[in-house]
Structure 1
Amino acid sequence: MRVGITGHSNLAPECVDEVGAGIRAALDAALEDEAAGGSSLVGVTCLAAGADQLFARVVLGMGGEVEVVLPAADYRDKIKPHNLAEYDELLGRATVVSVLPNEVSGRYAYVMANERMLASVDFVVAVWDGLPSGGKGGTGDVVEHAVASGVPVVVVWPPGARRKS
């Protein structure tokens, strides 16, 4: 089973454990539904800070594999310094890393990466507060695109979850 992630990069630290448990519950439920087929778990992510990296950790902790879709050649340069170590570690644990043919990260590259992810998964976990995106490539935009494309979406936003202000 192939599962994608979209979600907020600015989760409040005090809700990360609850959000991680919500991601795990969503994946457990999907695996239970697929149990008769003996599905293995593959998580597809861009490894952005926040929800993407949390998702990758949960997938790896469940014994799954992580595939990474990097939006552009300079994507690592856009990662904030305090997130680089986790990004590098998770990237090193990925079984597949694809770099899209964009030199520069930005909205266009993020939309392309999300489209690649959506085209390759059975469903998407959305760590999403339900609010509209601030532009193309944001969480709400990805959810909208997934729904329009017929890709099932499981929203994870437990009580008490919030974004940093």
Structure 2
Amino acid sequence: MSKPKPSKREITIGVTGHRWIRETLELTSAIDQVIETILQTYSGRTFTVLSPLAEGADRVIAKRLLRHQGTKLTAILPMPLEKYLGDFSSDESKKEFHRLLDQADKIIELSHPTSRDEAYAAAGKYILDHCDLLFAIWDGQVAQGKGGTGDIIRLARERDLPLVWIRYTQRDQNTKEAVQQEERTDRIFFERFPSQNPLSIAGEE
């Protein structure tokens, strides 16, 4: 069954995407383009962001959305906080996580399943169950593990959830290896939005 187009005053934006991305000017500009389209499409509404605040897309998108006055953040923790911190790559990453967590209006800690993959899958499902639209940074490839970005995108499409995703190439096919020299952000896709045509990044022919 199709999810109805949001008509309420508050719109909840779910966030998903890859971890191993770089916060480049090109990427943040693309995110800002998406945000501007969302603001125009749902003008007059307030916004809440649902994000696990994992490294990469979860944080980059949340940070850009929180720049807009009145936007609220609900942090969805896939496991207990101390265990979750162990998944972050550096002390600076943990500090950034805490800075964002301090901005959250609400923190939801999910019960911890038997594996980390299941925990992340549960967080993704929670976000899908509670968002009005999904905002993703994705390379367009199938998921490499349970609850990966590709899985979340597939479920969003099955639910006919409004979806916007930035295509970001950042890994070798069928591996988890980043390909920094080939990283590119080349299209924005809107699905089940009033305008569903892919957009070129500003400045691209």
Structure 2 match to 1:67: 74
Contact 2:13 2:132 in 1 (8 A): yes
Residue 50 (structure 2) pairs with residue 41 (structure 1) = no
CA distances 1:22-76 after superposition (whole Å, capped 9, x unpaired): 22221221221121xx201211100010111101110111121111100011212
Provide the rounded CA distance (Å) in 1 between the counterparts of 2:105 and 2:25. Answer: 25
Q: Which runs of 5+ in 1 are unaligned?
A: none
Which is helix-richer, 1 or 2?
1
The answer to whether the aligner puts 1:76 opposite 2:85 as a matched pair is yes
Give the Cα–Cα distance (whole angstroms) in 2 for the partners of residues 105 and 151 of structure 1: 27
Which residue in the other structure is 1:134 paired with? 144
Partner of residue 34, structure 2: 26
CA-CA distance at 1:153 after TM superposition? 1.4
User: Which residue number in structure 1 is paired with residue 199 of structure 2?
Assistant: none
| Pair 1:53-2:59 in alignment | yes
SS of the counterpart of 1:78? coil
Deviations 1:80-132 (A, max 9, x none): 22411111110111111100011766111111111111111111111001011
SS in 1 for 2:75: strand
Q: Which has the higher contact order (CA 8 A, sep 6+)?
A: 1
Q: Does 2:130 match 1:120?
A: yes
Q: How many residues align?
A: 159
* Matching residue of 1:87: 97
Q: Is the 8 A contact 1:71 1:112 kept in 2?
A: yes
Give the strand-richer structure, 1 or 2.
Answer: 2
Aligned to 2:4: none
In structure 1, give the amino acid aligned to 2:72.
E
Q: Are the counterparts in 2 of residues 7 and 50 from structure 1 also a CA contact under 8 Å? A: yes
| Identity value in percent | 28
Structure 2, unmatched stretches of 5+, are: 1-10, 172-177, 180-205
Over the aligned positions, Cα root-mean-square deviation in angstroms equals 1.7
Runs of 4+ in 1 over 2 A off after TM superposition: 161-165
